[in-house]
Structure 1
Amino acid sequence: MQQSTVNAFYQNFLGNSPEWYKLAIIACLIINPMLFALDPYVAGWALVLEFIFTLAMALKCYPLQPGGLLVIEAVAIGMTSPGHIEAEISQNLSVVLLLIFMVAGIFFMKDLLMFSFTKLLIKVKSKIALSLAFTFASAFLSAFLDALTVVAVIITVSTGFYMIYHKVASGKPGNHTDHDHTEDEHFDTPTRSELDEFRAFMRNIMMHAGVGTALGGVCTMVGEPQNLVIAERAGWNFIEFALRMAPVTIPVLIAGLITTVLLEKLKWFSYGAELPDTVRHILVEYDKESDSKMTKRDKVKLFSQVFIAIWLIVGLALHLATVGLIGLSIIILATAIAGITDEHQLGKAFEEALPFTALLCVFFAVVAVIIDQQLFAPVIQWVLTFEGKMQLVMFFIANGLLSMVSDNVFVGTVYINEVAAALKQGIITRDEFDLLAVAINTGTNLPSVATPNGQAAFLFLLTSALAPLIRLSYGKMVYMALPYTIVLSIVGLIATYYGLMDWTQTLYDMNLIEHHSAAGSATESGH
């Protein structure tokens, strides 16, 4: 009886995760207390590497549970304290509010986003122009909205189109509700070939859009959660953040768009797939039917969302309120105008962001361990032995390599905290801190497109219902992202080395940004 109880517990533990993964986590939980008794510094690094491992294995098990267990144990054995974790979360409350309210707010603007992307897919017939449009549109939207939401909308549009075509190609009647769009064994050879072309086309579009969210997400303080952490530490508003990043982000954006065109034109790395004419005809007819069914209320809702989007951009640009509060205002405006007053309807908007918000709080708990055990102090001291431009390049590389295998929010948060601590201790000047903050932000955002581990939007795409439909695997994503990874990383490095310092001095000379005093917010937030 006792043995069966143990077996039942083991089966329940971490659900359907692989056996080897469960054993690995259990082994970590057993080893960590012994390591901490022998050498707290070594135990701290073991915890960080174990946590990065849970992030890298996110497809096997969502990192919240294994990562959370490791953190709970870390608190229990004295690596950090609940008070310090609470202080870290409180200090990053603006980021938490960004994820809770902004993501939920954009959820209620999906009608406008879906309408826009649907028209883009239908109206633009040139594959090169369409790919460029998706990359740029994703970049622009991700500079002001949450990248995860932008990708979620494009996934929804793409999945809808796939289901429409699959149903028609299967010969099912229009009112058939039990159609299985995951099954295509009954397709004849010509139709199957056409379906494979359509899948290749959708893989191209989704990868361009995913990279686009990275190109735009690096530009502003709301593009990625770690951007806001960096902006908070540095005391930068929306405009100053964008201006300081510009010498790196603008060349990278241009290089990314050129890469999109070249990949489609040269048909390298599985790009260049065209939308079959039969599929286009089916989608156009469906779009016409959808437009004909649009009521006056639907049109009013779309127009109202346009004005809400304008308020979002203006509110962020002029820093009229914190990002989280602007997100809350979007929820109120969008739901009031659309007539969404049911509590359960409101609840759906928060489902997307809350798991990641909980995981982010676990991030901050690991950050508390890093600070208490002074884990990154030797690394930061070594990188700071470099001077001038090479120092910036080394920070870009250090952040980039780690962000390729681990979540870039975690990496960015750790490094900006350590640099803030170096500023407080007088190791670096405030001007050096500002330049390093740019290198950290661009380093975490750009090379992280290499794998789905680095960016939440890429991981969301890989774990979505669309990925198996269009045959988009982990390996395929890495392969298709490779040219972007190389171009974005090289151009980012070159821009960091040659342009960052001169551009920042130009901004000072033109009085577009101010020299922050040594008593600025970065010092206050240092540990």
Structure 2
Amino acid sequence: MSYNVRNAIFDNFLGNAPDWYKTTIIGFLLLNPFILYALGPVIASWVIVAEFIFTLAMALKCYPLQPGGLIAIEAVFLGLTSTSTIMHKIDDNLEVLLLLIFMVAGIFFMKNLLLFLFSRILLGIKSKRALSLMFLLVSAFLSAFLDALTVTAVVISVGVGFYGIFHKVAAGIDYKDRADINTDEEVYEQHRADLGQFRSFLRSLMMHAAVGTALGGVCTLVGEPQNLLIANTASWEFTEFFLRMAPVTIPVLFAGIIVCYLLETFKVMGYGALLPDTVRKVMEEDQVNRDAKRTKKDNWNLVMQALVGVWLIIALALHLSTVGLIGLSVIVLASAFTGVIDEHAIGKSFEEALPFTALLTVFFVIVAVIFDQQLFTPIIQYIFTMDSDSQVAAFYMANGVLSAISDNVFVATVYVGEIKQAAVNGVINRETFDLLSVAINTGTNIPSVATPNGQAAFLFLLTSGLAPLIRLSYMRMVVMALPYTIVMTIIGLIGVLYFLKPATATMYEKGLLNHHSIEQLKSDGKSNSH
């Protein structure tokens, strides 16, 4: 093979990614078979997990779908997992995939309304601390009753809208023109500093909102997918789930609010940037222009989008169907009543969701490797050798650490299955099972904010079209999440150690909680077995 042909192949491989990155991925692919042969499947599986996390960390160098997908395909060919296990994991997470495909696309048809509402909020609230707290608390509230990914999709849409307005003006382009906002080549020199500050301003708001989805999502049965799994296994209803989690989640919520306030006050860890005056002026002028040019047809579109938004909230809050199907209904209603009937116009709504859906499916291959090679089993076995009080704290921390490097839904599934079997086998009693279930739920939701791969909402933000615009990289997310991670994890651990057991006992005495039996777990296991 000639030198020129080799160059052409290497240039095509992973496109515009840096040469060192391409060489690293090739090295991974060549090294993995030798690691499997020399060190065995368990070590090889841990190496593949680390390699996949590396592709996530380098998301701004190359979208993780291609390099991560190559590693995942190799894992299958090396026999570290099977296609049947992968399909089982996809089947378990089908609702999440449908949510991404349809709900994120549905939000696309409501972007004008979102920009209309959030522009007034952004320009109306002059205090950055108040604005940050609002983003955090609204995200937390919505995530508790809706879904973290849906809320994140809304926040991303708003962020892209804000960024696009100023970027186009800074480049001397009318905001209605279709222009590339991914490059700064046309941005006037006098606007570059303001654009950099505006990016920092948006990054902080996006991170506050992302953390808010975790704070709210942990509180209720419908906040995260694993919450529903745990509640179904333990036979907890909505109110009982909230009350059992409250000794841990409520202190963590207040801790998150305090951290948000302090970060914006002391302007550390990438927070504290204010909205530049030039940007505020541009956005105010844009708002005035939009209002002046808005026709009756445009106003009607906003009204219809608002009505569809009301339907969305009611349908999600009452759980009329799965989130994905509700998202599909939003696409149908919003497009039908706002005049969007062209196939290509509808196709644009899926541009943001489908790449991430594919990436998440690749991630399930890595989860399948963890499952088939039982990478977490030794940790579970070790924890069961501890006394009951220590087990609760150990499960909280173990779930937190593993969720930060893996998938919190998968970790919760594995651990809940293990403690259920332990209860059925008489290794632990029902009271301990309930306490451990709380520890697993809070552990998978709270410390997992440490990394983007710990929370699907964080990963969605990292791999969205907004992340490169505001220079939000993997490591920057880790650094910006660090204060929240440390404080929320410690407060959660204190809640698990000192508040959970006495508060639960008090709620039993007052009749707020129901006493459940081991027999319920046995009967559920028989009825739900594959």
- Using the size of structure 2 for normalisation, the TM-score is 0.82
Aligned to 1:127: 128
| 1:25 alignment partner in structure 2 | 28
Structure 1 residue matching 2:184: 3-state secondary structure: coil
1:86 aligns with 2:87: yes
* Pairing of 1:124-203 with structure 2 (within 5 A): 124-166=125-167, 168=169, 182-183=184-185, 186-188=188-190, 194-203=194-203
**Contact persistence 1:102–1:324 (CA under 8 A):** yes
Please tell me whether the aligned partners of residues 420 and 521 of structure 2 are also in contact (alpha carbons under 8 angstroms).
no
How much does 1:382 deviate?
0.8
CA shift at 1:514, angstroms? 6.7
Asked if the contact 1:452/1:459 (under 8 Å) is kept, the reply is yes
Percent identity reads: 58
The amino acid that maps onto 1:96 is L
Q: Could you tell me how far 1:486 is from its partner in structure 2?
A: 1.8
Where do 5+ consecutive residues of structure 2 fail to align?
none
Q: Distance in 2 between matches of 1:476 and 1:31?
A: 33
Q: CA deviation at 1:164?
A: 3.7
1:110 maps to a residue whose letter is: K
Q: Please tell me the residue identity of whatever aligns with 1:107.
A: F
Matched, 1:444 2:444: yes
- Residues 140 and 216 of structure 1 are in contact (CA less than 8 Å); yes or no, is this contact kept in structure 2? yes
8 Å contact kept, 1:421–1:526: no
Structure-1 separation of matches of 2:411 and 2:198: 37
RMSD of Structure 2 on Structure 1 (CA): 3.8
Shift of 1:307: 4.1
2:33 counterpart SS class: helix
Cross-structure match for 2:281: 281
What amino acid does structure 2 have at the position aligned with 1:123?
G
Instruction: Determine if contact 1:95/1:228 at 8 Å carries over to the other structure.
Output: no
Q: 1:55–1:192: structure 2 CA closer, same or farther, 3 Å change rule?
A: closer
Q: Deviations over 1:64-102 (max 9, x none)?
A: 444444444444454444333333333443333333333
Q: 2:463 and 2:472 mapped to 1: Cα distance?
A: 10
- The amino acid of 2:281's aligned partner reads H
- Is 1:34 the counterpart of 2:50? The answer is no
Q: Please show how residues 102-501 of structure 1 align to structure 2 within 5 Å.
A: 102-166=103-167, 168=169, 182-183=184-185, 186-188=188-190, 194-231=194-231, 241-420=241-420, 422=422, 427-429=427-429, 431-463=431-463, 466-467=466-467, 470=470, 472-501=472-501
Task: Quote the offset at 1:120 in angstroms.
Answer: 1.0
Determine the C-alpha separation between the residues in 2 that align with 1:521 and 1:513: 17
Distance in 2 (CA, whole Å) between partners of 1:13 and 1:173 is: 37
> Measured at CA, do residues 265 and 342 of structure 1 come closer, stay the same or move farther in structure 2, by a change above 3 Å?
same
Distance 1:79 1:158 in 2: 40
Over residues 219-240 of structure 1, what are the superposed CA-to-partner deviations in whole Å (9 max), with x where a residue is unaligned? 3455445445545655656555
Task: Measure, in 2, the Cα distance between the counterparts of 1:364 and 1:475.
Answer: 23
* In structure 2, distance between residues paired with 1:196 and 1:46: 37
SS in 2 for 1:499: helix
Describe the superposition over 1:312-343 as per-residue Cα deviations: whole angstroms up to 9, x where unpaired. 44444444333333333333333333343344
Inter-partner Cα distance in structure 2 for 1:359 and 1:382: 33
What TM-score, normalized to structure 1? 0.82
The one-letter amino acid paired with 2:248 is V
Shift of residue 130 of structure 1?
A: 1.5
Q: What is the CA–CA distance in structure 1 between the aligned matches of 2:347 and 2:138, rounded to whole Å?
A: 28
Matching residue of 1:518: 521
The change in CA–CA distance for 1:286 and 1:185 in structure 2 (over 3 A counts) is: closer
Give, in angstroms, the shift of residue 257 of structure 1.
Answer: 1.6
Residues 342-393 of structure 1, C-alpha deviation per residue, up to 9 Å, x if partnerless? 4433333333333333344444444444444433222111122233343222
Cα distance in 1 for residues equivalent to 2:374 and 2:496 = 28
Report the CA distance between 1:126 and its aligned residue: 2.0
> Which moved further from structure 2: 170-179 or 216-225?
170-179
Q: Distance in 1 between matches of 2:362 and 2:175?
A: 47
1:135 to partner: Cα distance: 1.6
Q: State the distance in 2 between where 1:223 and 1:419 align.
A: 22
Aligned CA distance change for structure 1 residues 99 and 173 (closer, same or farther; 3 Å): closer
Deviation (angstroms), 1:177: 6.8
8 Å Cα contact 1:55-1:453 kept in structure 2: yes
Query: Deviations along 1:167-214, whole A, 9 cap, x unmatched?
Result: 5566667888768771477534xx665555444433332332232232
> Contact 2:198–2:276 (CA<8 Å) still a contact in 1?
yes
Inter-partner Cα distance in structure 2 for 1:72 and 1:86: 14
Aligned to 1:98: 99
Distance 1:435 1:84 in 2: 30
Cα offsets for 1:279-314 (capped at 9, x unmatched)? 323322221221233333443443444444444444
Shift of 1:493: 1.5
2:214 alignment partner AA: A
Cα 1:506–1:351, aligned 2, differ >3 Å: closer, same or farther? farther
* Structure 1 Cα separation of the partners of residues 223 and 125 of structure 2: 27
Do the aligned partners of residues 232 and 112 (structure 1) sit closer, same or farther apart at CA in structure 2, a change above 3 Å counting? farther
> Residue 416 of structure 2 contacts residue 440 of structure 2 at CA under 8 Å; is this kept in 1?
yes
1:414-467 alpha-carbon deviations (Å, 9 max, x no partner)? 544544554565544555444333323322332233344434444454455555
1:87-136 Cα deviation digits (max 9, x unpaired)? 33334433333333333333333333333222210111222212211221
Distance 1:60 1:29, change over 3 A: farther
SS at structure 2 position matched to 1:338: coil
Structure 2 CA distance for partners of 1:76 and 1:19, relative to 1, 3 Å: closer
Secondary structure at the aligned position of 2:437 is classed as helix
Residues in 2 aligned to 1:262 and 1:30: alpha-carbon distance in whole angstroms: 49
